[in-house]
Amino acid sequence: MSTTTVNMIEWSEFTNLYAKVNGVSLTTPQSPSPPGLDNFILSPQDIRDAISAPPPGKGHRVGRHHSNSMSYTCNYEPSSSYPVLEGFLPGFPQASPISFPPVTPTSSPADEYDSPSWRCGPRRERPSFSPSPARPFRTYKRAPKQPAAKQNQGVFLGLPVQAFVLTKIQTLLEHACYTFAEQWLPHILFENGWDCPEAGELNVWMHHFNFNVERMTLCHVAQEHGMKESLSDVMHSAKEIRHNAVHRNRVEINELAIHMDHAVDLCTILGVQEDLDKVKAIRDYAKTEIDSLQATIQAAKQEAEKKIMQFMKSL
């Protein structure tokens, strides 16, 4: 076949495709300038590329492909690497089905952390709360409300008097702790940022004094003063003084006397003479009045018992 014949077949094929794509009617295929050629939708090269483009999926880049070949036959074949399945175009892989793990309803919302059926990633741990650096320990527990029956057992001072006594002793002990720490344990003041006696509560002071080095220091001083009371009992009474002063718990007069004795012992260990003298004065005066009250109560009790016995014998 001559070159002229091949060119005519190529031009005839092109004009037919051009007319079909651009929606025009060509009456003279041999015409070198068909109607509408100046405003074509697709260029001749675009039509050639569409005819000679390789099928997708065979490693060829999709795009404009320039070829000098005289043949424009379409040899499209489905890709052999993907099976042709119903509902999918040839040459495109089928989307893999999405599978979900079986879900078993949990019995309560609280189990969602532990149930394997709800676990879709790394296991979530239950949140844990660490103490704040500003408050590394709990200093007291909330005081339970005392039943009325317990408050009627024993002898008690009036609550205004008791609260004033305990609050005053607490203030003096806190001042003594601060003065002692300034001389012997300055690191406690530095670590807590305390710059005055009012900064540290009495129970917090007992917490710091309970560490090994500080406790050894206090024990050594207590032995030098010949104290017979246990240091643990003295420190416990100090915490109880603060606790009852803050929460307004009524304290029986015998227990109150023990607390005041231990307050004197603590001031003796700390060696702050001014505070020791004041605590001693409070203890001595209060115990004198308590002893007088107990003596009066005992005398009144004996008088009441005597009258009751006389009445019983008269029947």
3-state secondary structure 112-162: HHCCHHHCCCCCCCCCCCCCCCCCCCCCCCCCCCCCHHHHCCCCECCHHHH
Residues 169 and 307 in one domain: yes
Q: Are 11 and 29 in contact (CB under 8 A)?
A: yes
Which pLDDT score, from 0 to 100, does residue 250 have?
Answer: 94
On whether residue 95 sits in a domain, the answer given is: no
Reference 251, options 130, 184, 178, 156; nearest CA is 156
On whether residue 226 sits in a domain, the answer given is: yes
Reference 241, options 210, 269, 288, 283; nearest CA is 283
Residues 44 and 187 in one domain: no
Q: Are 150 and 144 in contact (CB under 8 A)?
A: no
Angle between helices 212-224 and 202-209 (to 10 degrees): 90
Domain boundary among 35, 52, 69: 52
Q: What domain range includes position 224?
A: 156-313
On whether residue 125 sits in a domain, the answer given is: no
User: Which backbone phi and psi does 156 adopt, to 5 degrees?
Assistant: -130, 145
The gap between the terminal CA atoms of the chain, to the nearest Å, is 158
On whether residue 59 sits in a domain, the answer given is: no
- The length of the chain in residues reads 315
DSSP 38: G
Residues 23 and 171 in one domain: no
On whether residue 141 sits in a domain, the answer given is: no
Residues 48 and 188 in one domain: no
Residue with tokens 């844990």: 128
Number of separate domains in the chain: 2
On whether residue 58 sits in a domain, the answer given is: no
Q: What is the dihedral of CA 148, 154, 155, 156, to 10 degrees?
A: -40
On whether residue 126 sits in a domain, the answer given is: no
pLDDT in tens, the chain (315 residues): 555 554 555 677 777 777 777 766 666 545 555 555 555 555 666 666 666 666 555 444 444 444 444 444 444 444 444 444 444 444 444 445 555 555 555 544 444 444 444 444 444 444 444 444 444 445 545 545 555 445 556 889 999 999 999 999 999 999 999 999 999 899 999 999 999 999 999 999 999 998 866 788 788 888 887 888 888 899 999 999 999 999 999 999 999 999 999 999 999 999 999 999 999 999 999 999 999 998 999 999 999 999 999 999 998
On whether residue 63 sits in a domain, the answer given is: no
Which pLDDT score, from 0 to 100, does residue 145 have?
Answer: 54
What are the DSSP calls for 90-102, one per residue?
TTSPPPPPP----
Residues 165 and 301 in one domain: yes
Partners of 252 in the β-ladder: 156
Residues 188 and 303 in one domain: yes
Q: Are 192 and 228 in contact (CB under 8 A)?
A: no
d(CA 42, CA 29): 18
Helix (H, G, I), strand (E, B) or coil at 246: helix
Tokens representing 315? 């029947």
Tokens representing 203? 């129970």
DSSP 252: B
Partners of 156 in the β-ladder: 252
